[in-house]
Amino acid sequence: MIARTYHWKFKVRETHLDTFGHMNHAKYLEIFEQARWELINEGGYGLKKIKETQIGPTILEAKIQYRRELLLHDEVTVESICTEYNGKLGKVYQRMINSAGKESANLEIVVGLFDMTARKLIEPTPEWKAALGIKDEAET
């Protein structure tokens, strides 16, 4: 499996801050999620497709590590890459890089593709893999 790394940029805003003046811990999860939505939307698997097919992503596990604080107006890049997909489960690794090139946080999630009609996980479809930036090695 070969996967591309997706880059998405954002700026820390006032609404992201907590009383310590740095980005609130829960906002990291929101921003990581926003970056994943940008990734799959760009890959053609947005909310419209999810509603039409009744098949969409679900997160089964999340492990986050906070490394460095992010402050108001910091320019940040979120990197996202699918590191593996075996059977019905995949792993997506994300990290936030500050303007100095240092990692501020990282997140590893276990993701699956959920059939909302059958109410169960299914094997990843070719469209879903493409949206995540995955290519089988035979395709390269």
Average pLDDT over residues 80-85: 98
- Cα dihedral across residues 86, 140, 4, 33: positive or negative: negative
Count: domains in the chain: 1
Average pLDDT over residues 64-83: 98
Structural domain that includes position 63: 2-139
pLDDT, tens digit, 9 for 90 and up, residues 9-60: 999 999 999 999 999 999 999 999 999 999 999 999 999 999 999 999 999 9
Instruction: Provide the CATH number for the domain around residue 38.
Output: 3.10.129.10
Q: Point out which residues pair with 80 in neighbouring strands.
A: 6, 94
The distance in angstroms from the start CA to the end CA of the chain is 10
pLDDT, tens digit, 9 for 90 and up, residues 83-116: 999 999 999 999 999 999 999 999 999 999 999 9
